Structure formats: structure tokens, C-alpha cells
Structure 1
Amino acid sequence: MTGRGRGAAARRRRAARLKSVAIGGGLLLLLLVVFWSVVWPYVTAAVVLGGLAAAGRWWWRTDRLVRGRDRQWRQEEAVKAGHRTLAEVDAMTGTEFEELVAGLCRRDGCTEVRRVGGANDNGADVVGRLPDGRSVVIQCKRYAPTSAIASRELRDLLGARVHFGADLAVFVTTTRFSRPSEEFALHHHILAVHRDHLGLWNNGASLLSLIEVNGRGQGDARHRARWKQAYGK
């Protein structure tokens, strides 16, 4: 068969298929018209179910897209936070340190996070909600590593917890807590994030995971000896 003959045969087959589809569609439409009083509930149900299925698929695709973008953003923020060494944190201003802490909270899934630090901060620098819905108030102190956090600063945080009606109070610092301040934090259920735990948090540990090690791990024995010599504690 020549090329022209094969082309003509193909056109005839396409025409036959279109004719069959048209006849089938016409018969279906005729049956719907004739038996409409019987089949209309089924047709309506099929249309509604089809619409619901289409809406559900659109919602699922949109939700997956939004979640994907949110996950990508959190991963990027986590990378940025993890690239900051403690030496770089030591060089930050107080405001930059507060922004770092707020960013780490967001990375961990906290919501409604905002920085409130300033002249009239009522003892708080960052507030928000934990992933489990509890409210949190955070005090941030970027001190030299040779300094120590005194108990009076934790008392200010207790006042902030009452003022903001927070469920959890967190004190984050670039240094250590004195023994009395550490005991004060544990007694009043304050999460005391000292320099070592800040390093863990900055490198990927979640804020909530630090609750399990609250009051532990404040440097090596050499640091403790220097600390005791300098402060007599």
C-alpha cells in the first residue's frame, strides 16, 4: 500500500472512531433525557462527588506545596543557624543575639514568635508558642564567657513569666549560671540554657530536648576551676 493509501485508511479509521463516539454520546444523552426522572439523583451525586474529589485533590496539592515550602524555609534557617559558631555569637550585639534566639525558636516549630526586648521589655526578650501550644517567654543575655548569671536576673524572668502569663520561662545565655542561680532555675522550673546547651541548640538540638538536660553540663573541669577561682562559687 502506498503512503497516500495508508493516509487515507488512517483518516477513515479516525472518522469511524469519531462517528462511534458521537453516536454513543448521542445515545447516552437521549437516555438521560428519556429517563431523567429516574437517573437525576445518580447524575447529581456523581457531579457532586466529582466536584468534591477535584476540590480534595486541589487542597491536597496546595497543602503539600505549602508544607514543602515551609520545610525548605526551616531547613535553610537551620543551616544558617548551624553555621554560626559560638565565637560569632559572642561578637553579636544584644539585639542580634535576641534575633538569633527567635530564629532558633522558629526553626524548632514555635509559632507567634516575636522579639519584645528593649527598654520596657518587662523582663522578656522573646515570646511565642512552643510546638505543643504552650506559651513561652525567653530572656536573652549575651555576656562574656567568663561572666556568670546571678540569681537576681532569673528573678526578673519569673516576673516576666507572670506578666506575660507564660507556661514556660527560658533563660538563654552565652555564659554559665552560678550555682545558686542554677538551683534557683531548677526550683522554679526555668529552662536554663547555658553556653554548652546553646551550642547544642545552635547545632540542631531542639529547644524542648534541652528540658531533659536542664541543670547539667556547664563546661569542663578546667573551666569550673577558673570560674571558682574568679568568683569563689
Structure 2
Amino acid sequence: MRKRTRRQLQGWGSVVAAIAVVWLTGHWTMVWPVLLVVLAIAVVGGAGWALWRAHRTAVGQDRQWRAQEEAKARELSMTEVDALSWQDFETYVAELCRRDGCTKVVVSGGSGDLGADVIGYLADGRKLVVQCKKYAPHRSVPSQDMQKFVGTARLEHGADVALFVTTCRTFTKAALGLALRQDIVALHRDLLGSWVKGAHLETLIPLNGSGDGATRRPPA
């Protein structure tokens, strides 16, 4: 039964093909312009698709290259920051605040500063209190450091925005968790690198500890 059905279909297919050939032969002058148009559309469409794919690939590669170069540039700048003394680092952070429109910026770091190394006001009038910790890149900010800042940033200094800036790559899990719960902006090395390279402070504040550069966070 299946063989007979298959033979019937083949037969009908042959008939249809023969009719099509006869029809095309008799109407070739009408058909060939249409075929040329279809062929041209197919060629143009294929070329356009290939160009679009090539463009997408080039854009993706360019983005990847730019991200890599920006990361290298941040690290180059951070190498210069690493060469600063802790006093010069506080002064430099104050300069970054001024660059981004902060006013009445003063460096108050030293003994008895109660965690307020830099104090100023954001462009919208909010009081900014900054704790600066210049640690080696491989270190992590411990929970004890964050606890001290949490205890003074608002109660002692009346901060509207409390910013903890460090040159190391990570905060311990406990330190970062405390920062998030107490609305302390945690600015680790990667975010500081972006700030150094020109990112505005107002755009970094919402990130608060994200984009951690370490492949693995150290234990608390």
C-alpha cells in the first residue's frame, strides 16, 4: 500500500514538473524577469545579512576590547594611587569629591577624626562623610573597620551619605553585609578605579559594593 502511494505521488510529481516546464517554456519572456528580481533580492538579502553579522561581531569585539583597555587603564591609575601615602590618599579622595561638584570639602583625617577622613557636601546639599582605608590590593576590609564607621558616620558626623573608600579589592562578607544594612556606600578598588578614571561619584553611589573584582570573596 505504501509503495503504491509512493509511486502515485512520484507520478503526480512528474506530471506537475512536466506541466511547469511546458508552462515556463511558453511564458519564458514573462518569467525570466521575475526570476532575475528574485535572484537579485536573494543576493542582496544574503549580502546584507552577512554584513549585519560582520557588524555585530565587530561591535562585540570592540566592546570587549574597550572593556579590557578600560580595566588596564584603571589599574595603571591605581598603581599611581597605590604609591600615595595614606595622608596623600585622603587628600586625593577629597580632590575627587571636589572634581565631582562637592562643596566645603575638608580633609579631617588623623587621630580623633572618629572615622571622618573627608567631609563635604554633595551638589544637592547632602552631607558627605568619607572613611578612607589605604590597604594593599590583596587585603580585605574587615568587619571591625566597618563597625567603627557605622557607629560614627551618622551619629557623630550627621552624614546623609556615608562613603567607605578603600584601595583593596574586597570587603569581607560580614563587612559588606553590614554596609548594605546600614546604608554605607562601599567603594572597593574596582569602583575606586572607575572614579579615578572619570566616573562621577553620583553614578557610583548606587552601585555600593557591586562589581567586586575578586574571583572569590574571602571569608568573614
Counterpart in 1 of 2:180? 186
**Which runs of 5 or more structure 1 residues have no equivalent in the other structure?**
1-81
Q: 1:152 aligns with which of 134, 144, 157?
A: 144
Tell me the SS of whatever aligns to 1:88. helix
Identity score, percent: 46
Q: 1:163 aligns with which of 149, 156, 171?
A: 156
Which residue identity is paired with 1:137? V
Per-residue deviation, 1:215 = 2.5
Q: 2:195 aligns with which of 196, 201, 215?
A: 201
Taking structure 2 as the reference length, what is the TM-score of the superposition? 0.62
Equivalent-residue separation in structure 1 for 2:116 and 2:76 (angstroms): 24
1:1-233, aligned counterparts within 5 Å? 85-161=77-153, 162-175=155-168, 176-221=170-215, 224=216, 228=218, 232-233=219-220
- Cα 1:164/1:219, change in 2 over 3 Å: same
Q: Is the 8 A contact 2:115 2:148 kept in 1?
A: yes
Taking structure 1 as the reference length, what is the TM-score of the superposition? 0.59
More moved, 188-197 vs 152-161: 152-161
Which residue identity is paired with 1:167? D
Per-residue deviation, 1:207 = 1.1
**Which runs of 5 or more structure 2 residues have no equivalent in the other structure?**
1-73
Instruction: Give the number of equivalent residue pairs.
Output: 145
Residues 70-103 of structure 1: CA distance to partner in whole angstroms, max 9, x if unpaired? xxxxxxxxxxxx9971011111101000011000
Which residue identity is paired with 1:114? V
Cα RMSD of the aligned pairs, angstroms, is 1.8
Q: Is the 8 A contact 1:172 1:192 kept in 2?
A: yes
Per-residue deviation, 1:164 = 1.1
Higher relative contact order (CA 8 A, sep 6+): 2
Q: Is the 8 A contact 1:138 1:169 kept in 2?
A: yes
Equivalent-residue separation in structure 1 for 2:165 and 2:209 (angstroms): 13
Residues 137-196 of structure 1: CA distance to partner in whole angstroms, max 9, x if unpaired? 100000001111011111211233211111111000001211111111111000000000
If each structure's helix is expressed as a fraction of its own residues, which one has the higher value? 1
Which residue identity is paired with 1:197? L
Which residue identity is paired with 2:208? N
Tell me the SS of whatever aligns to 2:101. coil
Equivalent-residue separation in structure 2 for 1:137 and 1:148 (angstroms): 21
Counterpart in 1 of 2:35? none
Equivalent-residue separation in structure 2 for 1:116 and 1:220 (angstroms): 31
Residues 23-44 of structure 1: CA distance to partner in whole angstroms, max 9, x if unpaired? xxxxxxxxxxxxxxxxxxxxxx
Q: Is the 8 A contact 1:84 1:202 kept in 2?
A: no
Which residue identity is paired with 2:149? L
> Following superposition, which runs of at least 4 residues in structure 1 exceed 4 angstroms of deviation?
none
Q: Is the 8 A contact 2:101 2:122 kept in 1?
A: yes
